[in-house]
Structure formats: C-alpha cells, structure tokens
Amino acid sequence: MTDKRPTLTLKPKARPARKPAPEGAARPWATGGQGRGPSASAPADARPRRGETERDHAGRTASREPERLRPSHEVKIVPQHDYRPDLKADSLALSLLGAASAVARVRGGTALPQALSSVFSAYDVTPQARGAIQDIAYRTMRQLGRSEVLLGLMTTKAPEPPMLGALLCAALALLDPPPGTNPPYEAFTVVDQAVDAAASHPDFAHAKAMVNAVLRRFLRERETLGAQALKQPLARWNYPQWWIDSTRAAYPNDWEAILAAGNVHPPLTLRVNRRRTDAEAYLRLLADAGIEAARVGPTAVRLAQAVNVSQIPGFHDGVVSVQDAGAQLAAPLLDLADGMRVLDACAAPGGKSGHILETADVDLTSVDADPARLARVGDNLGRLGLRAKLVAAEAQDAGWWDGRPYDRILADVPCTASGIVRRHPDIRWLRRKSDTLQLATLSSKILDNLWQMLLPNGKLLFVTCSLWPQESEAQAAAFAARHGAIRLDAPGQLLPASGAGQDHDGLFYALFQKPAA
C-alpha cells in the first residue's frame, strides 16, 4: 500500500483574503487552548496496540463499526513521540525535537511536567540537554497562541502530525521572543537546527523543506506578520479566548496586567527554615556565595537569577526550600502553637506541610489523593529533617479519619490553578471553561467534609491558587453561610505581583473559626 501523506504548503503571499474568523479564534488546526482539539493526538502508549481490544475508560469493550480497508490517502500514521533521533546530544536540533514532543503531548492532554518526564526517559538525554529541552518547552507554552496564529498565517492547512506543528511553534518561540527580551539563539542557527530536527524524524522528514520555507518567510516578513497576528487576542495575550473573557469579567480594571503577569518568567523564591536561620542571615550567606537576592517576605528570599537547586547554599541540608512568597502566608495564618493537632489536606508536594512543621512542634497529618505525589511530601519533609503522618486518601471522604478532631486544618483545595500560570504555562491550554464549576463543586465537598473534623473554636484556612471568584470569594461566602462559620481576617484575593519588596503568584486566602459548641 502506498503511504500518501498530506503535504503542507506555504500560503501564497498575495493570496486573496479569506473571510475573517471571529476575533480571537484560533486557526482551524489549533486546539483553541483545550488540548483536545481535532489536531491533538493521544500519546502512542494510550492507543490500543495491534491485536488488542479497544476499550473505553471504564474498561468495557467499546462498540465500533466493522473495520473497512481505507484508501492509502486516509491512512494515519501513529505519531512516534518516543522515537530516539540520531542527533548530537548537545545540539539545538535535539532540544527542539524534545521540546516539540513535549508540546505535542500537552496538546494531547498531558501536563507539561509529565510530558517532559516522558521525553527525558525516551530520549535518554544528558542533564544539559534536559535543561535546554525544558527551557524551550516552557518558552513555547508561554508563546503558543502567538506562534499558532503566525503559523496559521503562513500555511494552508494543519501540520500533520501534531508534533510537526509543535516543532514549528518551538522554533517560532525562539525566533520571536517577547518584547524587551533578547533571542536566545541566532536566527540562522534556529532555522538550520529546526530543519535538522525535522529531517531526523520519520514522521515528518518529508516536511523539512516546508519547515525551512516557513521559518525563513517569518524572518523576511516578521514585522508584517507580527502586526497581522496581534490583531487576534489569542496572539496578543497567549491565552484561550474564554480565559481572556473570564479575567476581564472578574477584574475589569486589572485584567490586562493579570494576563501579562502570567506570561512573565517566574522568579526563584526560597523559604528560609526558621529552625535553622533567619532571612537576613541567609541573605548574607548568599552574598558570600556571589548570589544576588532580596527579601520579599518574613521568610521569603527571591534570587535575582534562577539557579539549579544544587547550587543553592544549604538547600540539601534543609536550610531553605523552594516556595512562592504568596504560598508562604499559609502557615502564619493558621496561628499555630506547639502540641496542636493539625491537618494539611491536599498536601502534595509538601511545601506548606514543611512550613507548618518549621513554625511549631505540632502533630501533623498530611493527606493527598495521589500516592506518588504524597511520596514527594515525605521526601521534602525528610530533607528538612521533619516528620508527619502521611495518608493517601480523598479529602472529600471521611473513611480515613480516626475520629479525633483537629485544632487547625489547612484546606488547599483543587482548582483551575489560574493564579500560577507564570509557573505552569501549560495550564491555560489544558483547562476548559467548564472545569471551573466542576472543581468548585469538588472543593465545596472537601470543605464540608473537613469542617466536621475541626474542634470547636478551631480554625480552618481555605486556600486556592485560582483567580476566578467562583472558586475563591464566592466559594468562601457560600461555605460560611452553610456552616455559620466565623470569618476572620485574611488576605483574600492576591493578584499576581512582582516588584520591590514583593513577588507572589495569584492566591486566595479565607480563614474561618468554628463556633464553640
């Protein structure tokens, strides 16, 4: 059978204008920020193998029409995400291909950290290559809307397979950095290495000439194409349209600054372990090591330039931990005292659990539904020389509870994570608008369940890293009304901020006290 693959061609420069798409709409081949559009493909290991029965998510045999032989032009090649190319370990081509594989996995519904982990395992790359692949993948995620719109302006149809489109987006992210930043590589190097990357992969080696033509056209027509792309909100803001609309509706005076903050590379912020030292002493230690830093909270220190944790003085000895300055507000708000019985619900990866134990000698139980993520809580506490009871369980269920009430409960509930997109830029492309209501419903069940575990006069701190009122203020108000909870002073909604003396993600805090019996 002849394998006739679709050929992607350049859009003629003088082609008559098409009927314009609705403002902010993605090109037909883009997934519109949901990670589940028609061009997104599932990872190869998620597809049924030859000879296996295709099953639905519940494990039951799925009904399907009888198979028929298809003409060769309908044959779809299963993408080889895990293909190990014959490229130099330190080449930009390998880094581009690895980043493209990760981006394609995100477009298939996988979170970026897990996607990168799969790529690192499949490609068996060096630590240096891992860093380059991760850097390019995160850059691509932050600029994906703009790159997709540019690609749609220069091509006539969807790149197939999706990894080819991801490779072009990764290259465009390097050629077209955000205003005010310098390109990380010379333009001719990016084009040359992107072509080498395409040529090395069996799924789209046939498209290497197209890759060359698209990228060179962008360099020739950069100003014209850029101006045309920025007419679309998707390219201007690098968020799905529903996300832009939700932010504007919730914060009519601040929505532009909020969206812009989510596209900025986040700082590396440390939490100083008060059992070992204080912030001022640690700043002197950093200065002695030639590392510039500033204090942005009682125990928060922001590095001027991010470095590997292996280079951070005292990290492996538990002197400091990596934690956003906004997240460091949780433990102090709990008003902890030695001897208290404390619950950290939805605890993974353990930053707040560690901070609680650094603050007071308490009997801490850390609960998380994911056993693998709960293991990270144990690892992080072990580095700090601290201990807690770890329980793998759903926070909305009570079957794991021993019936002994808690003095303090930290409820860092599941949410859309819209307040931490500068650290996790893939979230915007994975979430759907409907996720807000679904997660808010789950969170309300968790809060109601935890409230019964709290002692009279005890305090529950409700935390979410969302910017949407449905998940934050509206949730807090509804919870207080349902239970007659006494609401105490707390920061409420923190918008993403960066500047002198402060630097934090977008989080929400509400503190409640249970009335005396």
The 3 state secondary structure assigned to 429-451 is: HHCCCCHHHHHHHHHHHHHHHHH
Q: Does residue 465 carry a catalytic annotation?
A: yes
**Extents of the domains making up the chain:** 92-237, 328-513
Per-residue pLDDT tens over the stretch 403-439: 999 999 999 999 999 999 999 999 999 999 999 999 9
- 243: exposed, middle or buried (C-beta count within 10 Å: 0-12, 13-18, 19+)? buried
Q: What are phi and psi of 466, to 5 degrees?
A: -105, 155
DSSP codes joined into one string, 396-441: T--TT--S--EEEEEEE-----GGGTTT-TTHHHH--TTHHHHHHH
Whether 351 has a binding-site annotation, put simply, is yes
Please tell me if the domain spanning 92-237 has the same topology as the one spanning 328-513.
no
Kindly give, in sequence order, each residue whose CB lies less than 8 Å from that of residue 403, ignoring residues fewer than 6 positions away: none
Helix (H) or strand (E) run with residue 272 in it: strand 268-272
pLDDT at 9: 54
SS3 of residue 136 by DSSP: helix
Vertex 119 angle, CA 113 and 121, to 5°: 105
CA 127 to chain centre: 21
Cβ(390)–Cβ(378) below 8 Å: yes
- Interstrand relation of 406-412 and 454-464 (parallel, antiparallel or unpaired): parallel
Name the catalytic one among 225, 319, 362, 465. Answer: 465
C-alpha 263/C-alpha 139 separation (Å) is 9
C-alpha 465/C-alpha 472 separation (Å) is 9
Whether 350 has a binding-site annotation, put simply, is yes
Alpha helices in 251-367 (DSSP H): 255-261, 279-288, 330-333, 351-359
Question: What is the torsion angle, in degrees rounded to the nearest 10, for the CA atoms of residue 480, residue 481, residue 484 and residue 488?
Answer: 30
DSSP 141: H
- Structure tokens given for 330: 């949780």
Domain 92-237 class in CATH: mainly alpha
Per-residue pLDDT tens over the stretch 188-230: 999 999 999 999 999 899 999 999 999 999 999 999 999 999 9
Name the residue type at position 148.
E
C-alpha 411/C-alpha 187 separation (Å) is 48
The CATH superfamily of 328-513 is Vaccinia Virus protein VP39 (3.40.50.150)
Whether 348 has a binding-site annotation, put simply, is yes
CA atoms within 13 A on the CB side of 215: 29
Cβ(193)–Cβ(93) below 8 Å: yes
Helix (H) or strand (E) run with residue 322 in it: strand 320-322
pLDDT at 11: 61
Whether 445 has a binding-site annotation, put simply, is no
Q: What is the pTM of this model?
A: 0.82
DSSP 155: B
Place of tokens 């659990």: 353
Q: Which residues of the chain have pLDDT under 70?
A: 1-83, 499-501
Place of tokens 């269920």: 397
- Structure tokens given for 478: 């509804």
Whether 169 has a binding-site annotation, put simply, is no
